[in-house]
Structure 1
Amino acid sequence: MIEMAFFPVRTVSGKELEVALLIETRAKAMGLDVRSVVVPPRIKGFVIVEAPAHFIVLEVTRGIKHVKGGPGKKMKKEEVLKLVKPIPIIELINVGDIVELVAGPFKGMKAKVEGKDVEKNEVILNILEAAYPLQITVPADYVKPVRR
């Protein structure tokens, strides 16, 4: 069995999806062994192509308008998984941050984070738009960070 490798390809920022779709179409048309094309959500300007060899990625990306550079050095599978795995929202929120509620009865209101419980995936909020101090505990998925 041929061992697959991951190769990063530099693209114009914001054109990653277009490049990925063009790579897929070209690989099928040319009959090249490209197993997957990954557009990492947190990294702008890169597409990751899974293929058995460097020259296959070079051939499939040659002449594509928004490709800035040829395939880079081989990446390990663990590195690609780190780029694709989503970060839980509770890790992005810190005590003292201002957040907006996106669900529940207080939807649309702004609040200040007073505390968080990582194990329960909950945040303790102080609603800023209330007439009196109002503390609530909501799931971390109910909030969106606004500013620090």
Structure 2
Amino acid sequence: IYSILATEDLKGYLLVEAPNRGAVEDLIRKTFKVKGIVPGESTIEELDHLLSPHKIIDSIDKGNIVELISGPFKGERARVMRVDKHKEEITLELIDAAVPIPVTVGVEQVKIISKSS
């Protein structure tokens, strides 16, 4: 096995670089919770969008629903009120809070639950 790639864009799938299918079959026999193989080959051009970094801030818009994944409000859901692309911070309003208090956090502390329409 030369390399294994797991990305958020392909949840539930691993891309495996190997000299032949037999090497991949040996790997999955020894790996827990692997269900099978989707056979095929990919070119580096097809995988380029998975390998190149993209800024999270570009995918967050005002009105999106996010979940805080770190910090004192971990696990809370919130609505995006403002996006500061220069500082890479967003201002949120907690959904389940009794009093709406604006909270400003870094974009690395949230995960998008749903996009605003």
Per-residue CA shift, 1:76-115, capped at 9, x if unaligned? 4x65453234544323322111112222232332211011
CA contact (8 A) 2:6 2:13 kept: no
Aligned partner (choices 49, 58, 71) of residue 41 of structure 2: 71
User: Structure 1 unaligned runs (5+)?
Assistant: 1-23, 25-35, 51-56
Please tell me whether residue 49 in structure 1 is matched to residue 9 in structure 2.
no
CA distance in 2, matches of 1:108, 1:40: 24
Letter in 1 for 2:56: I
> Once the 2 structures are TM-superposed, how far is the Cα of residue 40 of structure 1 from its aligned partner?
4.4
User: Measured at CA, do residues 39 and 104 of structure 1 come closer, stay the same or move farther in structure 2, by a change above 3 Å?
Assistant: closer
| Map of 2:85 onto structure 1 | 118
User: Measured at CA, do residues 81 and 96 of structure 1 come closer, stay the same or move farther in structure 2, by a change above 3 Å?
Assistant: same
Calculate percent identity across the aligned residue pairs.
Answer: 30
CA contact (8 A) 1:40 1:84 kept: no
| Map of 1:94 onto structure 2 | 61
Please tell me whether residue 130 in structure 1 is matched to residue 116 in structure 2.
no
> Once the 2 structures are TM-superposed, how far is the Cα of residue 136 of structure 1 from its aligned partner?
1.8
CA distance in 2, matches of 1:95, 1:108: 20
User: Structure 2 unaligned runs (5+)?
Assistant: 29-35
Normalised by the size of structure 1, how large is the TM-score? 0.52
Normalised by the size of structure 2, how large is the TM-score? 0.63
| Map of 2:3 onto structure 1 | 37
Higher strand share: 1
Please tell me whether residue 61 in structure 1 is matched to residue 21 in structure 2.
yes
User: Measured at CA, do residues 49 and 140 of structure 1 come closer, stay the same or move farther in structure 2, by a change above 3 Å?
Assistant: same
